[in-house]
Chains A and B, each alone.
Chain A
C-alpha cells in the first residue's frame, strides 16, 4: 500500500502527515503526531480512551480512518488548555474532585463530558451517566467523575445562563 499526503487540523494547527489508507486516526495522532493524550485501549470502539472531538463531536479515533478526518477540526484533550497549559475549567473540576486515578480514561471522559455540557447546558446526573457509557473507567467507580462533570456544568450554566439549550 502506498502512503498519501494528508493535512490534519489538530488543536488549531495544520499538520502534514503521510498515511496509509488503512491507518486509523488513533494511529496517526498517537504515533505520527505524538499526541499521547489519544490512547489505544481496545480498538473496538468500546472503551473510549481514544476519544477526540471531530468538529466538536466526540468520536473514537480507533474506529475512523485518518483519511476520513481530512478537512475537519480535530480537538484532543490538550487542545482544551489555554496558553501556558492553563487548565480548562472542566479539567480543574476533574483535578479538584479526584476524578482521575490512573488517568488513562481521563482525556476521553473530559472530551465527551464537555460535548454533553455544550449541548445540554446543565444535564442531570443521569444524563451525564448516559453520555459517558462509551467511556469506561476501571479505577474510580465513576462517582467522582460524575461529581466533576456536575460541578463544571453548574459553573458553566451560571457563567452563561442565557446559553441556548437544544
Chain B
C-alpha cells in the first residue's frame, strides 16, 4: 500500500467553486532552483574581506564566571576581534513572549557576564580571517568558573528550596483555564480515569545549521540569515543601541526551521562582530554546536483526570501541565498557553480545570518547535480517551464520536468554536486508508491498531491582534511583482502566495516574481510560525489582489465595453466572463492580441491604467481577528481557529525485544481548502514522519544539564528505512479562516503521532505507554509489567 504520485481525483473532497490555479500543484521557481541545487542558502554568501565568526560557549550548566582571559586568543595571528559581555552595548534581551499578560520579567544576556545558566550559553565571540583560526581562537579564550548547584527538571524546579535559576523564582508562567466545576463533576462522574504522561527534549534537526552573513551598507547593519522572523531587527537595534532604521534583516530561503529559527540564532552575535569590526562576517554553527546550544522542544509532564457518564459522555477534565523551559524565557509563555488552550483536545468538556506552568531549569532553553505545546498534550488527552474506552468497553471511535466538538460549542476558555469540526470524517478516512489489519509476521510478535485525533490552532494567540501586509504591482509588460515580508521555511510559503495572486489577477505563475523576507524593503508580514502564514499573508495577498483587480476592472470594462462586474482575469488576459476559456496556467492565450475584440492582455490593461493615471501597484494590510484573554479568570479568546485531524497506524511489537515496527501509517486532516494539494500532502507526510521520530526514537537525553546526543550520529531522526510511507487523506470542508476557506496545515500533522503509536501499542500489548520516546526498553518493561 503505497501512495505513488498525486492522489487520484476521488481522494480529495472538492467543494465550492472551481478555481484555475488554486487547487493545482504547480512547481514554483524556488523548487526549480532547489532541484538544480542553485538556491543560495544563508551560508552560501561570500563577501570581500569577509571574516568568520565563532561563539565561545559555557562548558558548565550552572556556574559563576570568575574570570575571562582573552589575551591568548587576541594574540593569535588572523584574529580580528574577541568580544565579551563588556562589548555589548545593551546586554539584555527581555522577550515577554505572552505580551506581558502573565509571565515573570526575566532578562537574557547576549553574552554571559558573571553567571552561566546552561551548558552552551554564549560567553564570548571571535572573528578571524578563516574559519579554522576562529575555531582555534575560541579554544584559546580561557573562562574560569565556580560551579553552582543547578536544577534539571521541571518537577524539581518547583520544589521548595530548589536552586533558583533566576532570582525572581523558577515559575516563569502559570496559566489557568477554567470552566464549570471540574472537582464536583469528577466526584459525581460514573467513571474516572487518570494518567501521567511524559515527553522528552527534542531537537529540530533541520538539515541546514544556523547560519548567516552580516555587513555594513550605507550605515545600515545588514544581516542575511536563516531565520523565520525578520522582525528580530528591532531586538538587534536595541542590543546595539542604534535606531531601528539602521538594522536590516534579510531572510534567505531556509533549509528547514520547524520553530528552531523562530528565536534569534546567529543574529545578535553576527551583528556584534560586524558592528565592532566593520567588516563582513559569516557565522555557521557546527552541527554539534547546534545540537548542544540551540533551543529544544519542551519536555512536558502531563497529569490528567477525566470523568464521564456510563455512556461515555465526558463530564469533566482536570489537567496539570509542567513544561521544562530551560534557563531563559524564550517563547515558553506562549508554548504553555497553547498547551492549556488545547488541553481538552477536539472534545466537549463542560467542566474543566487546566493549569499549565513553565519552569526554569539549568537545561538548554526550550522554545518553539512545530506543534508548540498543542502537540505534546495530544498524548495526554488521547491516552485518556483510549483508557476511558477500555474502561467502559466502548469502541475507541464511538467514544470519540460521542464527544467531538461541533461548530458553536463552547471551549473551556468560554469561546465558541467558529468553524465546522470535521474531525469525525478525518477519523473514518484515516482508518479506511489503513485497510484490513495485517496479521503478526511470526511467533513472539503481536500487532495493534491505534488512532489519534487532534485540534491544533492556526494563527497567533488572538490578543496579539495579528496583521500582515503585501504589495502587488502589475508591471508594464503584464507581469506581476509581489512583495511580502513572509519568510519561507521550505513549505512553499512564497509559492502559495503566488498561486493566490494568480487566481485573482489572472497572471500566469511564470510571470509572477515574489520578493520575501526583507525587513527594509518588503511590507511586514510577521514571522513564519504558529501556522500563521497562509492564514495571514495568504489573506493579505488575497485582499491586495482583489483590491487591485477592483481598481483596474473599470478600465478593462471600458476597453471591452462590458460592466466591470462581468470580467474574468485568467491566463494573462481580461475578458468578459464566460467569453471563452484559455487553459489554466497557459502562458499567453492565442486568441485576440490586438487589444480590441474579446479580450485585453494584462500588459494592455497596465498601459491603459497608466494613461488614465491609475496606479497598478497596491499595498494592503490584512488584520486577523482580535480578542482578549483574562489570565485571572482563565476565560477569554485564545486562537483564531483550529485545524482538526486524525492519524491511524498499524504496528507490530516484538514481545521478546520490545521493538515496535510501524507497518502502516495514515494521516487525514481537514485543511479547509488545499491551495496546493501536493504541498499539503508534503506537510502532512513530513509532519507525521517528524512525529514518528518523536514517538519512537528521538531524545536529546539531557542529563544534569549535559546533552548526551551531542553528535548527529547519536540523535536518531527518521531515515528512509525506518518507517513506512505516510498515506494521506485530505478533507476540504471549505470552511477555514484562511484565504478561500483554507486552514493552516504546517504544524497540525505532527501532533497526532505519539498518541496514535501509543494507542496502537496499547492495542497490541494491553498496556498504555506513558513516556516518550517509546523505546524498546520501555515497551519491554510494559510487557513485563503486564506479565507480572
Scoring A residues 90 to 115 as 1 if CB is less than 8 Å from chain B, else 0, what string do you get?
Answer: 01001111111111111100100000
Contact between B689 and A110 (Cβ–Cβ < 8 Å)?
no
How close is B411's CB to chain A, nearest CB, in angstroms? 31
With A138-B256, A143-B2 given, name 18 new contacts (CB 8 A).
Answer: A31-B46, A36-B39, A41-B209, A43-B286, A43-B288, A44-B712, A46-B711, A91-B36, A95-B35, A98-B31, A103-B255, A104-B207, A133-B721, A140-B689, A141-B718, A142-B685, A143-B3, A144-B685
**Contacting chain A: which of B81-89, B349-357, B641-649, B674-682?**
B674-682
Q: Contact check: which of B35, B682, B690, B720 meets A87 at CB < 8 Å?
A: B35
- Taking CB as reference atom, which chain B residue is nearest A1? B132
Point out the residues of chain B lying under 8 angstroms from A138, CB to CB: 204-207, 256, 258, 686, 690, 717
Scoring B residues 34 to 76 as 1 if CB is less than 8 Å from chain A, else 0, what string do you get?
Answer: 1111111101101000000000000000000000000000000
Answer yes or no: B719 CB below 8 A from chain A CBs: yes
Scoring A residues 65 to 98 as 1 if CB is less than 8 Å from chain B, else 0, what string do you get?
Answer: 0000000000011100100010100010011111
Contact between A39 and B35 (Cβ–Cβ < 8 Å)?
no
Point out the residues of chain A lying under 8 angstroms from B31, CB to CB: 95, 98, 100, 103
How close is A115's CB to chain B, nearest CB, in angstroms? 15
Point out the residues of chain A lying under 8 angstroms from B286, CB to CB: 43
Answer yes or no: B513 CB below 8 A from chain A CBs: no
Answer yes or no: B284 CB below 8 A from chain A CBs: yes
Answer yes or no: B359 CB below 8 A from chain A CBs: no
Contact between A133 and B719 (Cβ–Cβ < 8 Å)?
yes
- Taking CB as reference atom, which chain A residue is nearest B290? A42
User: Given the complex of chains A and B, what is the CA–CA distance between A137 and B720 in angstroms?
Assistant: 8
User: Given the complex of chains A and B, what is the CA–CA distance between A122 and B51 in angstroms?
Assistant: 48
Q: Which of A123-138 contact B (CB under 8 A)?
A: 125, 128-130, 132-138
Q: How many A-B residue pairs have CB under 8 A?
A: 184
Q: Contact check: which of A40, A43, A76, A146 meets B720 at CB < 8 Å?
A: A146
Interface residues on A, range: 35 or more
Contact between A91 and B711 (Cβ–Cβ < 8 Å)?
no
How close is A45's CB to chain B, nearest CB, in angstroms? 8
User: Given the complex of chains A and B, what is the CA–CA distance between A144 and B3 in angstroms?
Assistant: 9
Given contacts A104-B256, A139-B686, contact A44 B713 (CB under 8 A): yes
Answer yes or no: B32 CB below 8 A from chain A CBs: yes
How close is A123's CB to chain B, nearest CB, in angstroms? 12
- Taking CB as reference atom, which chain B residue is nearest A96? B27
Scoring B residues 14 to 36 as 1 if CB is less than 8 Å from chain A, else 0, what string do you get?
Answer: 00000000000101001111111
Answer yes or no: B8 CB below 8 A from chain A CBs: no
Answer yes or no: A13 CB below 8 A from chain B CBs: no
How close is A95's CB to chain B, nearest CB, in angstroms? 5
Contact between B254 and A102 (Cβ–Cβ < 8 Å)?
yes
Point out the residues of chain B lying under 8 angstroms from A110, CB to CB: 35
Answer yes or no: A12 CB below 8 A from chain B CBs: no
Answer yes or no: B579 CB below 8 A from chain A CBs: no
Given contacts A31-B46, A142-B689, A143-B726, contact A98 B678 (CB under 8 A): yes
Point out the residues of chain B lying under 8 angstroms from A133, CB to CB: 719-721
Answer yes or no: B787 CB below 8 A from chain A CBs: no
User: Given the complex of chains A and B, what is the CA–CA distance between A98 and B187 in angstroms?
Assistant: 53
A-B contact list, 25 entries, CB within 8 Å:
A39-B255, A42-B712, A43-B288, A44-B711, A44-B713, A47-B207, A47-B287, A76-B37, A81-B36, A85-B36, A101-B490, A101-B682, A102-B253, A102-B254, A103-B39, A136-B717, A136-B719, A138-B258, A138-B690, A142-B725, A143-B2, A143-B726, A147-B3, A147-B4, A151-B5
Chain A CB count within 10 A is highest, among B30, B286, B721, B726, for: B721
Scoring B residues 549 to 567 as 1 if CB is less than 8 Å from chain A, else 0, what string do you get?
Answer: 0000000000000000000
Contact between A139 and B490 (Cβ–Cβ < 8 Å)?
yes
Answer yes or no: A145 CB below 8 A from chain B CBs: yes
Contact between B681 and A98 (Cβ–Cβ < 8 Å)?
yes
Answer yes or no: B273 CB below 8 A from chain A CBs: no
Answer yes or no: B409 CB below 8 A from chain A CBs: no
How close is A26's CB to chain B, nearest CB, in angstroms? 11
Point out the residues of chain B lying under 8 angstroms from A43, CB to CB: 286-288
Contact between A100 and B36 (Cβ–Cβ < 8 Å)?
no
How close is A38's CB to chain B, nearest CB, in angstroms? 8
Answer yes or no: B316 CB below 8 A from chain A CBs: no
Point out the residues of chain B lying under 8 angstroms from A98, CB to CB: 25, 27, 31, 678-679, 681-682
Point out the residues of chain B lying under 8 angstroms from A22, CB to CB: 132
How close is A12's CB to chain B, nearest CB, in angstroms? 16
Q: Contact check: which of A34, A37, A137 meets B207 at CB < 8 Å?
A: A137
Q: Contact check: which of A106, A134, A136 meets B37 at CB < 8 Å?
A: A106
Point out the residues of chain B lying under 8 angstroms from A144, CB to CB: 678, 681-682, 685
User: Given the complex of chains A and B, what is the CA–CA distance between A151 and B32 in angstroms?
Assistant: 18
Answer yes or no: B688 CB below 8 A from chain A CBs: yes
User: Given the complex of chains A and B, what is the CA–CA distance between A41 and B290 in angstroms?
Assistant: 11
User: Given the complex of chains A and B, what is the CA–CA distance between A108 and B255 in angstroms?
Assistant: 14
Q: Contact check: which of A31, A103, A146 meets B35 at CB < 8 Å?
A: A103
Q: Which of A36-67 contact B (CB under 8 A)?
A: 36-37, 39-44, 46-47, 49
Point out the residues of chain A lying under 8 angstroms from B2, CB to CB: 125, 143, 146
Point out the residues of chain B lying under 8 angstroms from A87, CB to CB: 35-36
User: Given the complex of chains A and B, what is the CA–CA distance between A139 and B711 in angstroms?
Assistant: 20
Contact between B685 and A143 (Cβ–Cβ < 8 Å)?
yes
Contact between A41 and B719 (Cβ–Cβ < 8 Å)?
no
Given contacts A102-B489, A135-B720, contact A141 B686 (CB under 8 A): yes
User: Given the complex of chains A and B, what is the CA–CA distance between A31 and B258 in angstroms?
Assistant: 27
Point out the residues of chain B lying under 8 angstroms from A136, CB to CB: 207, 717, 719
User: Given the complex of chains A and B, what is the CA–CA distance between A163 and B686 in angstroms?
Assistant: 35
Contact between B206 and A46 (Cβ–Cβ < 8 Å)?
no
User: Given the complex of chains A and B, what is the CA–CA distance between A136 and B33 in angstroms?
Assistant: 20
- Taking CB as reference atom, which chain B residue is nearest A90? B35
Point out the residues of chain B lying under 8 angstroms from A40, CB to CB: 43, 209, 284
- Taking CB as reference atom, which chain B residue is nearest A112? B720
Contact between A106 and B725 (Cβ–Cβ < 8 Å)?
no
- Taking CB as reference atom, which chain B residue is nearest A47? B207
Point out the residues of chain B lying under 8 angstroms from A99, CB to CB: 35
Q: Contact check: which of A30, A102, A106, A143 meets B206 at CB < 8 Å?
A: A102
Q: Contact check: which of B32, B41, B287 meets A95 at CB < 8 Å?
A: B32
Answer yes or no: B234 CB below 8 A from chain A CBs: no
Answer yes or no: B626 CB below 8 A from chain A CBs: no
Answer yes or no: B491 CB below 8 A from chain A CBs: yes
Contact between B36 and A141 (Cβ–Cβ < 8 Å)?
no
Given contacts A44-B287, A110-B35, A139-B256, contact A130 B712 (CB under 8 A): no
Contact between A36 and B25 (Cβ–Cβ < 8 Å)?
no
Answer yes or no: B466 CB below 8 A from chain A CBs: no
How close is A147's CB to chain B, nearest CB, in angstroms? 5
Contact between A36 and B41 (Cβ–Cβ < 8 Å)?
yes
How close is A48's CB to chain B, nearest CB, in angstroms? 9
User: Given the complex of chains A and B, what is the CA–CA distance between A78 and B33 in angstroms?
Assistant: 11
User: Given the complex of chains A and B, what is the CA–CA distance between A96 and B725 in angstroms?
Assistant: 18
Answer yes or no: B208 CB below 8 A from chain A CBs: yes
How close is A104's CB to chain B, nearest CB, in angstroms? 3
User: Given the complex of chains A and B, what is the CA–CA distance between A105 and B685 in angstroms?
Assistant: 16
Point out the residues of chain B lying under 8 angstroms from A150, CB to CB: 4
User: Given the complex of chains A and B, what is the CA–CA distance between A140 and B41 in angstroms?
Assistant: 18
Point out the residues of chain B lying under 8 angstroms from A78, CB to CB: 36-38
User: Given the complex of chains A and B, what is the CA–CA distance between A150 and B720 in angstroms?
Assistant: 14
Contact between A46 and B712 (Cβ–Cβ < 8 Å)?
yes
Chain B CB count within 10 A is highest, among A76, A104, A141, A145, for: A141
- Taking CB as reference atom, which chain A residue is nearest B211? A40
- Taking CB as reference atom, which chain B residue is nearest A126? B721
Scoring B residues 491 to 520 as 1 if CB is less than 8 Å from chain A, else 0, what string do you get?
Answer: 110000000000000000000000000000
Contact between B682 and A140 (Cβ–Cβ < 8 Å)?
yes
The 10 closest A-B pairs by CB, nearest first: A102-B490, A37-B37, A103-B34, A104-B255, A141-B689, A141-B685, A77-B37, A42-B287, A132-B720, A42-B712
Point out the residues of chain B lying under 8 angstroms from A135, CB to CB: 720
- Taking CB as reference atom, which chain B residue is nearest A94? B35
Point out the residues of chain B lying under 8 angstroms from A147, CB to CB: 3-5
How close is B730's CB to chain A, nearest CB, in angstroms? 14
Given contacts A44-B712, A143-B725, contact A36 B686 (CB under 8 A): no
